[in-house]
Each structure stands twice: as structure tokens, then as C-alpha cells.
Structure 1
């Protein structure tokens, strides 16, 4: 049997709270985290509101899971997704889950999966309630996955709040000389805010984001292992002493 490299992931989509138009870009994002061995979309597929999903399901080999709405006002789709997630969790084959929804009802599911030692990647719109975002290891706002250029700034944070977060991350990761490896800074930022993403601020990469901050400076260093490759270090610019 061929060896598969990469974390095995289950992608579970709440079709009532996700847009079919961004699923291709979303699965490309998932591919950066691991291998989507399970791809399921949940909803009442007899309703006209989900008719636009048909081509997306076929194009990306996503299995539609039918769930009738038995009672008005009760979301049977959420229950079906949660039950399947727990079955997959106890199956023991997966390394993580990708939960695609903007619904806070999945907050406890994300927490439960993480309690079992697995990784949770969340995908939802900017309106997603903070408790669900915080329950995930990483949360990607689907607005940045839409085709075209990186979306304009989506974050509600002020520039001062962004600078504060960057300064705190740099201080936490800095070496004695004040310089911090940018990769470590990025990891710190995501650990403290699962929704942190340079694309939320209009930049494709963290390096582009920090270069744009006048209070920070970036140092490009060559690696001893490969002189043709480089890594970035960042630090807060020293404050000017009064004359």
C-alpha cells in the first residue's frame, strides 16, 4: 500500500452556512494543511436554496449528506454534521478536521475535537461569532478566498491594535538582540488569535504586512544550509532618543 504523506483531514461543510462559489479556493487552502480524505456537505438537498451546489459537489468529489428539516426552527443539518464528526473522531484515522460554517453551534464540537488532540481548522465568514473562531486552532475568513486580488482590510482592529499585536509577538519571540524569526512571530500570532491572517489586512504574506509597518524593520538573512535561500527576521525600530 502506498504511503500517504500529510495529515489526514475531514472537511465537513454546513451547506446552509457556506457558499458553493468559494469551495474550490477553500479546498486549495485545505491542501496546505493536509490531505482531505473525507469531504462531505450537509443540508436538505431537496430545497431550491441548495440547487447551486450541484456542480460544485461533482467537480470536487464532495459527498452530499441529505438531512430533512423535520421541525421548523430546528437545525437538523447541524446535528447530522456533529454526529458524523464524532464518528470520524472515534475512528482514529484522522489528524484533524476542517469545519466550514459561520454558525456558533459548532463551537463545542471544535472544542471537543481539540480535547482529543486533533487539529481544527475553521472556515467561515467575517460574521462568525468569536467563540467558534477561538475554539479552532486556525480560522480562515472565507472573504479572502474569493477569486481575484486579496480583499481589502477585513479586520475590525485599528492600526494601533495591529501594531500592538505585532510588537507583542516580536517581543515574545525575540532573541537577545531584539530580532525575531518571522516564522516564529507568525506562529505566535495565530496561537493568540486563530483568525489572524495577513490577507485580512490586504496582504498576501506576513512578510509583506510587516514590511508595510513603518515602526518595524526587516532583515533578510541567508541560511548556512542553502546560500540561495533566505529567511526573514523582524524587530521594532529602536525609539529615537531625545537630543
Structure 2
């Protein structure tokens, strides 16, 4: 089961998994997203609750979903491993029509799960198609962070960022922004980049002289300076 977090609401995760398990055993469960994006915080928390592996894919260009590309690449790698004969892509993006067709051409069962806005071409490319709107709702409790204290919501984010970088920098000087976002989410500090006037963690870091960034391929690395 491969889920594009930006295209599917986190609250639907339990219902999707419950439905798929009625006719298959999804031995591999992955959810793809840029976990430095605070808007995906609920998905990151839900992934751990349901046994999904959260795969990090940083968005390097606005409007381009690197996570979708990562999902497609992983699907092809899994296909050619020869160990999997069924796939459950969960996304509403029409770009996955070609992927579904390729998987089916190789003899795999493809069970698509999507919202009603999904295009007819994607539905036709799957052996079976499930609309999210038809799944019975399953009450779930998304793990909540501890309510932030006034200290946590200080207008100075530097101490919080330094502490989060320190947790991942024991064996390496640089830390990816994806790992930094995960450290912040686990710290229960109620950290939200929008509190500091930035929609993304990467832009917040670049605005601060206390940190240095380095682009390595698709990954943005960060470290403390001074």
C-alpha cells in the first residue's frame, strides 16, 4: 500500500487500511510526503499509529510534488523485485494512471483508492477501484502534541531549532530538513513555522543567520553556525 499524503486526508487512513485488509494483506505500508511541511503533521503522527513507514521527499520547487515521484519510483522498484503481485496506490492524482497501467500490464492486481475527483482514466487503469467517500468512517484519535507553552511560542525559533538539530547531529555535522522536521514533531513543542511567518521549514531556516544550508541533490541539509 503506497499513499501520497498530500492527496489523501490523514483521517481516512484507518478506513482505507481496514477496507483493504478485508481482501488483502498489505505487507508493505508506505506513506510519502515532505515531513518538514507542518500541514502533514497529522499524517506523520497517524503513520506510526497504523504501522506505515513515512518516506521523506523534500519539495524543491513550488508546485512540484516530489513525494509523488518517489512513490512511483518505489512502486517500480518493488515491481521488479519480483516479491509483490498486488499494489494499492492511494492518490487522486491523474499522473498515476500510467503507473497503474504499467503495474497491471506486468500481471499485478492494482487496487486504486481515491476521492471522487479522481479522473476516469485512473479508475479504468485499475483492476478494482474504491472511492474514499464510500468507506465507512472509523473513529480515530490522531496523537496530539502537548499544548505549547508561552516559552515554546517565543518569537525566537533559534533555540528550538538548535535543540532539534542537536538530536540528529551526534554522528554527522549536517542534518536534512526532513529529519529536522521529524525531530521537531517528536519534541512535543507545538512548533509551527507559520508562527514565525513562514509556510515552510526550509524558508524559515534560510531566513536565520544562525544556520547554514547546503543543497545535496534533492535534499536540503542544515547545520548550526556561530
The bucket for the TM-score relative to the shorter chain is 0.5 to 0.7
Distance in 2 (CA, whole Å) between partners of 1:71 and 1:46 is 14
Q: How does 1:204-223 map to 2 (within 5 A)?
A: none
Match of 1:3 in 2: none
List alignment gaps of at least 5 residues for structure 2. 139-226
Match of 1:50 in 2: 40
| 3-state secondary structure, aligned to 1:35 | coil
Correspondence for 2:80 among 80, 90, 96? 90
Correspondence for 2:68 among 57, 60, 78? 78
Q: How does 1:155-194 map to 2 (within 5 A)?
A: none
| 3-state secondary structure, aligned to 2:27 | strand
Match of 1:40 in 2: 30
TM-score by length of 1: 0.55
Distance in 2 (CA, whole Å) between partners of 1:101 and 1:119 is 16
| 3-state secondary structure, aligned to 1:123 | strand
**What is the deviation of 1:146?**
4.0
| 3-state secondary structure, aligned to 2:118 | coil
**What is the deviation of 1:99?**
0.5
**What is the deviation of 1:39?**
0.3
Correspondence for 2:94 among 88, 97, 104? 104
Moved over 4 A (4+): none
Which structure carries more relative contact order (alpha carbon 8 Å, separation 6+)? 2
List alignment gaps of at least 5 residues for structure 1. 1-10, 149-243
Residues 22 and 146, structure 1, Cα contact 8 Å, conserved in 2: no
Q: Deviations over 1:36-58 (max 9, x none)?
A: 11100001011011011133111
**What is the deviation of 1:23?**
1.0
Distance in 2 (CA, whole Å) between partners of 1:78 and 1:146 is 26
Residues 79 and 85, structure 2, Cα contact 8 Å, conserved in 1: no
Residues 12 and 39, structure 1, Cα contact 8 Å, conserved in 2: yes
Q: Which has the larger Rg?
A: 1
| 3-state secondary structure, aligned to 1:102 | coil
TM-score by length of 2: 0.59
Distance in 2 (CA, whole Å) between partners of 1:77 and 1:146 is 27
Residues 115 and 132, structure 2, Cα contact 8 Å, conserved in 1: yes
Distance in 1 (CA, whole Å) between partners of 2:15 and 2:78 is 24
Correspondence for 2:11 among 21, 29, 35? 21
